Amino acid sequence: MLEVPAQVWQKVKTNYIWRSLFRHGYPDSRKNQSLAVFTNVFLHLHPVKVRRHALAIPYTWCMGGLSFFLFLVLTLTGTLLMFYYHPVSAAVPGADDAYQDIKDLETVVIFGQFLRNMHRWAAHGMVITVFLHMIRVFYTGSYKPPREFNWVVGTLLFVVTLVLSYTGYLLPWDQLAIWAVTVGMNMVGATPFVGDEVRFLFLGGFEVGGNALLRFYVLHCVALPVIAGFLMAIHFWRIRKDGGISGPL
Amino acid sequence: MTVPRGPQPFPGQEKRLRLLAFVRQDSIVRVDKRVEDTAMVWPHLLVIEFIAAMVWALGLFVVAALFNAPLMDRANVDRTPNPSKAPWYFLNLQELLLHMNAALAGVIVPTAWIVFMMTIPYIDRSREGVGVWFTSQKGKTVAVFSAVYSTVLTVGLVAADFFLKKAGYAEWATAHLPGGKLIIPDVVIPVLVMLILPVVLVVLLKRLYQANTREWMIGVWTGFLATYVVLTFIGTSMRGPGMDLFAPWALPPTHD
Ligand code: HEM
């Protein structure tokens, strides 16, 4: 009985197309396990072997990995949301605008509410996981040589994560959104010497209006994710170059 | 000149070397390098990552199915909600804003904190205790001490501010202090408090526990963490209309 699937599997694996995709056998030997990791563009972020210590969940809580996971979830759900969202504030109350798009997401679009919820909660979640990751890195002394610079990159990632979340906060264009952003922008406006200029730069005006919405939208959907992506690339690369996850000497 | 055996290189290419890898010296000569200390990424790490990702994906599905993201009325610049609050992760700063000059609370303190964060590894440079939670038993003690110290002081300062304001301190300061409320209460006192309290903490840690650099750094960082958590909590669940202080269970709803 089992010969048939076994033969089919054998055929598939020796097939020309399959072999153009995978250049190693099933990862059940050390050699194939190594090949599986470093011939795969997604897996090659990993080394082939790690110290056993690094696998312990109480050591990392997986928080760095989960921050990255949430970032991917946010990229996916965010891209889907972009199909339905116009960064427009209506001149006439009641006309179509960003707020109406959110309402439509909740009532008209299939799974729209679910999509929005996923994006929202993942965003809060990411702020929390990044914070917890920072806590674990600090208390395990993982910023010590040779990882000084990766800690600096991490600090920048923390700031970018907060700003990403904050710029997204404005987009639903409801009362919560504009007033939270108004409060934040007033703080920015208190910057010594250049406060008003910086505030104007963010808002494209003197108060939170259509221009601010557009600026926050571009920052949120393009500029900041790209910056975060670059920083993460550096962050992950440096983990490898600094000898993998820290551990007792 | 003797000709080596085997296939001969092409003329002009006899001495070409190819660099295949850099091997750091210590990875060759390190005597305590234990091979058995490692595990293959496939399957051991990938399994953990896969399970973690699945559990979180499921958790997120459940949360997203059960709780809807908030959506209020359409944005309206003429209707200011009371209180207007920033997102929760900035409420610690908004809380600071109630106690000091706006530039200080909103810009200078967070910037100084970020700069301090980045300098930590350049101040605490020993490799002692890397990879061990809290470095040592003393590290834990220091962390607990600093958490209590900072929580008590932060809560105390917010409470002191509350009672002083109630007693008419702001009016008194405006009338009697040089520069009124704007200089001494809004700038000088907060700056002194924010500089002196961490210094006192470090001195205490050195006196009480003979703390070394790593240990006092744990103390200062824990102090920051505790302050951050306390201020976020107060800002989130104890500030009601007019940003007045309320008990978390008696917080009135936001109105226009
Ligand atoms: C978007 C945010 C971030 C992502 C996606 C991220 C991701 C990661 C991942 C996957 C690791 C591997 C180990 C682990 O999971 O714990 C790691 C390690 C590390 N992260 Fe982050 N990180 C982020 C933010 C930060 C922040 C805010 C800091 C510190 C301020 C930081 C500092 C470090 C350091 C120093 C390491 C090396 C730790 C070690 O060798 O044990 N990262 N990061």
Q: Which atom of ligand 1 is closest in space to residue A151's alpha carbon? A: 35
Average pLDDT over every residue of A170-186 = 94
pLDDT single digits (tens) B195-242: 999 999 999 999 999 999 999 999 999 999 999 999 999 999 999 998
Residues 27-86 of B with CB under 8 A from A: 37-46, 48-49, 52-53, 56-57, 60-61, 63-65, 67-77, 79-81, 84-86
With a pLDDT cut of 90, the percent of chain B lying above it is 68
Rounded average pLDDT over B63-76 = 93
Looking at residue A26, its pLDDT comes to: 84
In ligand 1, which atom is closest to the CA atom of A231? Answer: 1
- Provide the pLDDT for residue B178: 87
Provide the chain A residues 171-210 that lie in CB contact (below 8 A) with chain B: 172-180, 182-184, 186-188, 190-192, 195, 207-209
- The residue among A28, A1, B22 whose CA lies nearest residue A13 is A28
User: Which residue is associated with the tokens 């300061």?
Assistant: B173
Q: Which of B38, B90, B121 sits opposite A144 (nearest CB)?
A: B121
Region A140-154: mean pLDDT is 96
Which of helix, strand or coil describes residue A129?
A: helix
Confidence of residue A213 (pLDDT cuts 50, 70, 90): very high
Considering only residues A11 and A131, tell me which one the structure prediction assigns the higher pLDDT. A131
- For A111-126, what is the mean pLDDT? 97
Give me chain A's average pLDDT, please.
93
Of the pLDDT bands very low, low, confident and very high (cuts 50, 70, 90), residue A30 is: confident
Does pLDDT of B31 surpass 80? no
> B24: pLDDT confidence band, cut at 50, 70 and 90?
low
ipTM of this predicted complex? 0.90
Which tokens is B83 given? 């209180």
Q: Read off the pTM.
A: 0.91
Ligand 1 center to A65 CA (angstroms): 8
Quick check: A53 and B37 CB within 8 A? yes
Rounded to a whole number of angstroms, the CA Rg of chain A reads 23
- Among residues A34, A176, A105, the alpha carbon closest in space to that of B85 is found at A176
Q: Which residue has the tokens 């009672």?
A: B163
pLDDT over 70 for what percent of chain B?
A: 87
A129 lines ligand 1 (CB under 6 A): no
User: pLDDT at position B70, please?
Assistant: 93
pLDDT class of B13 with cuts at 50, 70, 90: low
Query: Does A70 reach chain B within 8 Å, measured CB to CB?
Result: yes
| Beta-strand runs (E) in chain B | 38-40
Tens-digit pLDDT profile for residues B111-140: 999 999 999 999 999 998 899 999 999 999
Dihedral sign from CA coordinates of A132, A136, A138, A143: negative
Mutate which of A138, A173, A196, A211 to test chain B, going by most B C-beta atoms within 10 A? A138
Per-residue pLDDT, averaged over B167-184, amounts to 88
- 3-state secondary structure at position B255: strand
B contact test, residue of A143, A164, A239 with most B CBs within 10 A: A143
Taken in order A83, A87, A90, A93, the sign of the CA dihedral is positive
| Highest mean pLDDT (candidates B15-19, B227-231, B243-247) | B227-231
Ligand 1 centroid, distance to B140 Cα (angstroms): 22
Q: Which atom of ligand 1 is nearest to the CA of A131?
A: 27
Instruction: Tell me if B107 and A103 make a contact (CB, 8 A cut-off).
Output: no
Listed residue (A123, A114, A102, A204) closest to B87, CA to CA = A123
Which domains are assigned to chain A? 1-49 (no CATH), 52-241 (1.20.810.10)
Q: Does B214 touch chain A (CB under 8 A)?
A: yes
Residue of B nearest to A96 (CA): B74
